[in-house]
Structure 1
Amino acid sequence: MKSNGRIQLLTLSALMLLCSCGKSDKSAEVKVKEEKPKVKLALVKTENVEQIQEFTATVESNVKNNIAPSSPVRIEKIFVEVGDQVRKGQKLVQMDASSLNQVKAQLDNLKIEFARIDELYKVGGVSKSEWDAKKMSLDVMQTSYRNLLRNTSLTSPISGVVTARNYDSGDMYSGGMPVLTVEQITPVKLMINVSEDYFTKVKRGMKASIKLDVYGDEEFTGNVTLIYPTVDQTTRTFPVEITVANGGQKVRPGMFARVTLSFGSLERVVVPDLAVVKQTGSGDRYVYVYNNGKVSYNKVVLGRRMGAEYELVSGVPNNSQVVIAGQTHLINGIAVEVEKK
């Protein structure tokens, strides 16, 4: 009898222990189910956002001229060096003048002969055809002389600066590289490729803000001076030329530039950068929007970044509450707990 009593007591104790464990597990399970991800929120509103776009470009001279004769000839004297400022019409190079001197002597003889023929023609001493033939010979020789003169005494067609010298005095010019290169750097120009989305918004005379890496945050001002009339079908962009007056000549050809154009302003929703989530494996961006205790996973189109904020082109309504912390464990439609600030 005592043995049976002990067995019954042990059995009852075991049942009570099992019941106790079952209640504990269920309680823990309920507790896990009720625990919600904690998030921090920020209220977002529309703001007046300036619509600016940044482009990159390399500075170019306004005009670039290569100075060289039309045929191989020995260089007698070069009068300038790289970096020299030159004026329009200034003599830069003297080439060998042997051919020029020969043609000059022939031209002088033809002038004397023509003067004699002309006097005879006036009194009927020669025919019109003889006069015409001699006049044509004189004209051809004068043209040849002027051409040789231009290619013997090389002058600058523009005012600018010498940016390249490829020969020395006494060298034989053999073609290929020019003797000198002269560039006009007052003004200079930049060519940018603008998206076709702005084709109707770019106007001649528009102001452009320009920064050069070499000068840090110093700003230069330019103007749109040329808009190409067609859009490249591959890149969907069109070229735009911007001119910078460059009175101080600080902006030099070859410098890397960042050009900013402003296309007015629009009312846009602005969100903290902490709210923007990048979807893994794609370039899409999302923002969690809070509403009635739950969050929705809204795909957004970003505009420009403004410090610690982003302009949104679309994706989040005005006056929304967005998640700025705690996104790691969130999924679309999940209930969340808002942490108090």
Structure 2
Amino acid sequence: MKIFKILILTVLITSCSNRLDGILPTARSLTESVYSSVTIQPDSMYQAYAIVAGILEANMVEEGDTVSIGDPLVQIINSTSKLNAQTAKLALDLARENYNGKATILMGIQDQINTAILKYKNDSLNYFRQKKLWEQNIGSRIDYDTKKLNYDLASNNLLTLNNNYQRTKNELQTLVKQSENNYRAALIGSKDFTVKSKINGKVYALYKEPGEIVSSMDPLVSIGSASDFLVEMLVDEVDIVKIKVGQNVLIHLDAYYGEVFNGVVSKIYPEKDQRNQTFKIEAVFIKPPQVLYPGLSGEANIVISKKESVLVIPKAYLIDGNKVITNEGLVTVTLGIQNMKDIEVQSGLTGDTYIYKPSND
């Protein structure tokens, strides 16, 4: 197999040497770049959502309108949330009535405590009176034990009622606060909600028509800058390590065929898109075209490096990645930077060495 390959190369070199289509390496500047697809998007573009579900009553803007921060975009109505708010208000009123109304639960417990206090005082008085008598050997043991038992029971009952009062009070306070929070949350959803713009910009898309049902998961409006546009690029993972913020970008747009626009890398997104194994890069125009629309496509070359006066040959003349055909045979060369068509030769050739393009036959 190796002999066969050598034979083919020998024939190839001989046939090329007999042709008059050889070229000389040229000394010129060479720019190395990374290729990328391009999509144009407005700066600060975002989709506006409603925080409540309901029915879209009206779109208050049209596509192409310019808006300012706080301008209304869409109006939403929600009758179900109004009923929820009414229910929450009833629950709040009941919680407040239970806590501090005329028929409050705490008042009932307080009445029990007052009665228990009277009983405790009476049993306490009887007990300590009987205790003194008993210490003087007056009275019976049964009378002493009975009064002590009544005193202990009254003391424990009073302690239990006080604890119950405090526990019930805390629970009722918590219930009032929860009901207030629920009512405030229900009020937010019960209002006829207006989605407003968060930026100064332009309306690029409306996604719903009046009368349609919307949820908090549905985008309603797409808004972005009216004047500033970003160049979104997708760079292959094998090239991402070469990209740095601030590098120059040569941009070709399909809508402006034949024109080249200059830009600068402004942002590198660190997360890889697993679907297409690419990284997202953003660039800004140095001098943008007069007219741009979201979604315009094209291609770009991100300039990685540039050298002046280097020896350059077409990449199509390489064999096995680092060899060229010369009049003296197959020569191994040391290569440097490259672009889509050409590559730098650092050693192995001179400017006077003819090289030949491998035959496709």
What TM-score do you get using the length of structure 2 for normalisation? 0.57
| Counterpart code for 2:261 | E
| Counterpart code for 1:56 | S
2:180 corresponds to: 138
1:296 corresponds to: 329
Q: After superposition, give the CA deviation of every residue in 1:94-129 in whole Å (9 maximum; x if it has no partner).
A: 1224345545666777787888888879xxx86443
Q: Provide closer, same or farther for how the CA distance between residues 284 and 214 of structure 1 changes in structure 2, counting only shifts above 3 A.
A: same
Q: Could you tell me whether the CA contact under 8 Å between 2:72 and 2:194 is conserved in 1?
A: yes
Report the CA distance between 1:249 and its aligned residue: 7.9
Q: Given the alignment of the two structures, is residue 87 of structure 1 paired with residue 68 of structure 2, yes or no?
A: yes
Q: Given the alignment of the two structures, is residue 64 of structure 1 paired with residue 104 of structure 2, yes or no?
A: no
2:265 corresponds to: 223
Q: Provide closer, same or farther for how the CA distance between residues 69 and 244 of structure 1 changes in structure 2, counting only shifts above 3 A.
A: same
Correspondence list, 1:40-189, <5 A:
42-61=23-42, 62-68=44-50, 70-71=52-53, 73-102=54-83, 127-149=169-191, 152-169=193-210, 171-173=211-213, 178=218, 180-185=220-225, 186-189=228-231
Q: Given the alignment of the two structures, is residue 317 of structure 1 paired with residue 349 of structure 2, yes or no?
A: yes
SS at match of 2:339: strand
Report the CA distance between 1:223 and its aligned residue: 2.3
Q: Provide closer, same or farther for how the CA distance between residues 104 and 220 of structure 1 changes in structure 2, counting only shifts above 3 A.
A: farther
Q: Give unmatched runs, 5+ long, in structure 1.
A: 1-35, 329-341
Higher strand share: 1
What TM-score do you get using the length of structure 1 for normalisation? 0.60
Q: Give unmatched runs, 5+ long, in structure 2.
A: 1-16, 108-168
Q: Distance in 2 between matches of 1:202 and 1:284?
A: 24
SS at match of 1:321: coil
Q: After superposition, give the CA deviation of every residue in 1:189-224 in whole Å (9 maximum; x if it has no partner).
A: 40321452561x322233323232212315142323
Q: Could you tell me whether the CA contact under 8 Å between 1:114 and 1:138 is conserved in 2?
A: no
Q: Distance in 1 between matches of 2:262 and 2:234?
A: 16
Q: Provide closer, same or farther for how the CA distance between residues 63 and 144 of structure 1 changes in structure 2, counting only shifts above 3 A.
A: same
Q: Distance in 2 between matches of 1:65 and 1:175?
A: 14
Q: Could you tell me whether the CA contact under 8 Å between 1:41 and 1:321 is conserved in 2?
A: no
Q: Distance in 2 between matches of 1:52 and 1:208?
A: 9
| Counterpart code for 2:204 | T
Report the CA distance between 1:315 and its aligned residue: 8.4
SS at match of 2:56: strand
Q: Given the alignment of the two structures, is residue 242 of structure 1 paired with residue 277 of structure 2, yes or no?
A: no
Worse overlay, 209-218 or 57-66 = 57-66
How many residue pairs are counted as aligned between the two chains?
273
Q: Given the alignment of the two structures, is residue 252 of structure 1 paired with residue 293 of structure 2, yes or no?
A: yes
SS at match of 1:83: coil
% identity of equivalent residues: 15
Q: Could you tell me whether the CA contact under 8 Å between 1:90 and 1:156 is conserved in 2?
A: yes
Q: Could you tell me whether the CA contact under 8 Å between 1:45 and 1:270 is conserved in 2?
A: yes
1 or 2 for the larger relative contact order (CA 8 Å, sep ≥6)? 2
1:17 corresponds to: none
Report the CA distance between 1:81 and its aligned residue: 1.4
2:115 corresponds to: none
Report the CA distance between 1:65 and its aligned residue: 0.9
Q: Distance in 2 between matches of 1:38 and 1:248?
A: 48
Report the CA distance between 1:259 and its aligned residue: 1.9
Q: Distance in 2 between matches of 1:38 and 1:97?
A: 83
Report the CA distance between 1:91 and its aligned residue: 1.8
1:214 corresponds to: 255
CA RMSD of aligned residues (A): 4.6
Q: Provide closer, same or farther for how the CA distance between residues 41 and 313 of structure 1 changes in structure 2, counting only shifts above 3 A.
A: closer
Report the CA distance between 1:76 and its aligned residue: 1.7
Q: Could you tell me whether the CA contact under 8 Å between 2:266 and 2:284 is conserved in 1?
A: no
Worse overlay, 139-148 or 104-113 = 104-113
2:243 corresponds to: 202
Q: Distance in 2 between matches of 1:248 and 1:103?
A: 53
SS at match of 1:225: strand
Q: Distance in 2 between matches of 1:166 and 1:177?
A: 12
Q: Provide closer, same or farther for how the CA distance between residues 172 and 52 of structure 1 changes in structure 2, counting only shifts above 3 A.
A: closer
Q: Distance in 2 between matches of 1:88 and 1:139?
A: 29
Q: Given the alignment of the two structures, is residue 39 of structure 1 paired with residue 76 of structure 2, yes or no?
A: no
